[in-house]
A and B are shown apart, each in its own frame.
Chain A
């Protein structure tokens, strides 16, 4: 009964407050501080949900999951900047799932309009709507939101903790607070006496942390500089702990084989598997099986030996059938026309250019396959999982094993890559269910690589038709249609049980929201009604649309007889200054002339995504033994660069991820199942194929932009455009290995 009440109330909050009538009682709820989930033990003090002081030092809760992007380091730097704690004294912890750690940016995406057009008012509106996330306990890492989310929040946390420590010191030594300063994890008295924060644990417990102003940017010591990452020593010595590294007494090892047709299991025969070495249990998971054994490898062997009959897929069974369905939806009714400038139906004189594009299904292939560790004791469940959504994971695990959320402990470990995959909670729930079937036995579950690829939540294939008109060497019309199944709808249905109303902007992001002034500019989204499980793949909609729109822009530039870089610059300049500046920056960095020697090709591309405009130039070379990528120049504008090394690393990482897919990434289906099964048939860039990089970070953007995703979309067209420059062949379909002799 209690459960139903909770759910009903929550639904009510979503329905009436969050989305529709915020004025009713939402503002009070939103502004009220979320409870502090930290409980200070003996000799500890927690100043707010983010700062814990113990006798040994300062622990900062950095409640965004570390998937390699360096988020915990920069979150710590934000707090430390105000807290005046010495860098080496800091311990970071992800912390428990909690309302206090809600994502204050996610819901702001619901406000319509391209981000590059945001005014101060619009930006504020996004922030206000984002705060509703608190009411929903919406904690998550993704959408390149962490820095936007915590840029001010984490500094306030540090500042108010610092002032609380000063008040505590002032009481302790009888000196006026105004005469105290702080430095290197200590309060300093006017006479030079040093009172380390760790000595203020008792005194600060009764102090209420005051509200204070933030320091001026010009005084920053940590922010804006490359800070040593807090996870670096652990990751260089094999001591960093992932969910798959948890060691508990009497632990058993498990793996699963879930339906590769994503439609459940008809029957299974485990007679052989049961008798195999080390096997302790074979568990019917409903839509698959789990094997528990004394060793992970023995579990994987036994799982392979189970004879399973799968129910047929509900979506078209092969790649060709899926493609036909996507193409057919182009003829249906548009779901969105969120970009519709001028009138594309009028007769515009000029040179007409038309093109059709297609990009394939993609898997995430994080380096660490899906893993989780779980321990169920009847009235409690503890889960260790590298996950991007701790509150949702907690609730899903609780529901799966029939406990209350309060009885479930979630430990968010480091992740061996995520790229959007670990926002799902399927693997955590599986570990919880296996643990429930083996009560009082800790279970460490790992998927095989094959399971990881087949049972991914995919980036959908997308097809597009574009028509453009060039007049006096200028683009005067772009009419684009983009079709494919909806990531947003399919994932919302899976995670919230319903499809949000209104146009699906994610489906056309990277195309409809680009800062280009074209008098007649329309982008229409068409949704294909097929239920292949889809998920958020690094840069989401822009991962497909960035390639499609920018390749078309390149085609227009060539049709116009204009230098492709200049062509983009002309389109962007009047629309968005910072976007024009990053294009100019790569021109200068790469010494772009528009001409290349024989055997060398260069391409430029631009995408504005996640609040960050990014331009890239890629150079390719025909070695005579295949084509290789020589170099990539990247310019990006995040408004404020909080850690230049980490941001540059993210830019490079995003490009490598994008180029890997553009060159060779393709998931295919047959019999309703994914055909690829390991890195030998779904590979990525490697040491010998990765280009050299040069990155420049600009700070003209009005608002903070994201870092984790925005460099991925332009990487794919930049490569395609370079290959066109080299060979004269225009690839309108990915992966490029289908068209070009690339060195892999």
Chain B
């Protein structure tokens, strides 16, 4: 069945079975490979994207259930025009292998949207679903705090 999706501001008509998870629509059909597959079970957060600004695990949302505009890491910012949070990630040199980082950044950006002055406890609660096997957590925490600061200064 064909379904119309709004992704990063562009319209995509997708012809795949209803039950294909959004993750695999993005990666294999639309060609947005910045969103990663880590577990397919909602247990790692590598596939995190936004639907209408809310962070969701795209491996757990079927095509037919997508209810709003999808934003992926590619829609957040680009190498020459990074979002504030991406710039904070670069400044803190967060990534190691980098494979979890799209999901980390998407999750953190939704956190800051909802809780601009995130405390350590807020960060723990919001980010604990995002696994990083390389162990970049200390720098993720620092980058989130720094991004929060920069966003508040901008406002």
- Which A residues have a C-beta under 8 Å from some C-beta of B? 66-70, 226, 228-229, 231-242, 244-245, 247, 253, 277-278, 294-298, 300, 365-369, 414-419, 444, 446, 448-449, 645, 649, 652-653, 655-657, 678-680, 683-688, 690, 692-693
Contact = CB atoms under 8 A, between A and B. Distances in A.
A239 B95 CA distance: 13
B3 interface: no
B124 to A, nearest CB: 4
A693 B139 CA distance: 11
Given A232-B90, A649-B96, A237 B36 contact: no
B98 A687 contact: no
5 contacts: A232-B93, A296-B28, A418-B97, A444-B28, A678-B39
B138 A236 contact: no
Nearest to B100: A367
Nearest to A654: B135
B56 interface: no
A690 B31 CA distance: 34
Interface in B1-54: 16-17, 20-21, 23-24, 27-29, 31-41, 43-44, 46
Given A239-B78, A687-B128, 16 more contacts: A229-B95, A233-B90, A235-B101, A236-B94, A236-B101, A237-B73, A247-B31, A297-B24, A298-B20, A367-B99, A414-B98, A656-B135, A657-B133, A678-B43, A683-B131, A687-B124
Contact of B135 (A236, A238, A241, A655): A655
Interface centre among B28, B36, B138 (most CB of A within 10 A): B28
B37 A244 contact: yes
A721 to B, nearest CB: 21
B105 interface: yes
Nearest to A231: B98
Interface centre among B43, B79, B99 (most CB of A within 10 A): B99
Nearest to A656: B135
Nearest to B73: A238
B98 A449 contact: no
B96 A298 contact: no
A227 B129 CA distance: 31
Contact of A278 (B17, B23, B38, B43): B17
A300 B21 CA distance: 12
Chain B residues touching A, majority SS:
loop
Nearest to A246: B33
A618 to B, nearest CB: 15
Given A68-B134, A236-B82, A367-B132, A446 B37 contact: yes
Contacts of A688: 124-125, 127-128
B38 A237 contact: no
A645 B95 CA distance: 12
A393 B43 CA distance: 31
A685 B37 contact: no
Nearest to A658: B135
A46 to B, nearest CB: 27
Contacts of A226: 93
A449 B39 contact: yes
A295 B24 contact: yes
A235 B78 CA distance: 11
Contact of B138 (A234, A277, A686, A693): A693
Contacts of A244: 33, 36-37
A253 B31 CA distance: 13
Contacts of B43: 678-680, 683
Contacts of A417: 97, 99, 133-134
B97 A415 contact: yes
A229 B134 CA distance: 16
What are the 4 tightest A-B residue pairs by CB atom distance, in nearest-first order? A238-B34, A416-B99, A235-B98, A656-B135
Interface in B99-155: 99-102, 105, 123-125, 127-141
A43 to B, nearest CB: 25
Contacts of B68: none
Nearest to A416: B99
B113 to A, nearest CB: 18
A457 B26 CA distance: 31
Interface centre among A68, A417, A652 (most CB of B within 10 A): A68
A300 B40 contact: yes
A685 B135 contact: yes
Given A253-B28, A678-B41, A367 B131 contact: yes
Contacts of A448: 40
B72 A684 contact: no
B140 A237 contact: no
Given A233-B79, A297-B21, A300-B40, A685 B137 contact: yes
Contacts of A419: 133
B83 to A, nearest CB: 9
B50 to A, nearest CB: 13
B69 interface: no
A652 B138 contact: yes
A298 B25 CA distance: 11
Contacts of B41: 449, 678-680
A710 to B, nearest CB: 15
Contacts of A415: 97
Contacts of A444: 28
A509 B97 CA distance: 27
Contact of A68 (B37, B89, B97, B123): B97
Nearest to B17: A277
Contact of A690 (B46, B97, B125, B138): B138
B95 A366 contact: no
A693 B141 CA distance: 13
Nearest to A236: B89
A237 B79 contact: yes
A369 B131 CA distance: 14
B97 A297 contact: no
B74 A237 contact: yes
Nearest to A444: B28
A369 B36 CA distance: 10
Contact of A368 (B36, B95, B132): B36
Contacts of A238: 32-35, 72-74, 102
A665 to B, nearest CB: 12
Nearest to A447: B37
A679 B128 CA distance: 13
A603 B86 CA distance: 37
B38 A367 contact: yes
B37 A233 contact: no
Given A295-B20, A416-B99, A367 B94 contact: no
Contact of A652 (B16, B32, B99, B135): B135
Contacts of A687: 123-124, 127-128, 130, 137, 140-141
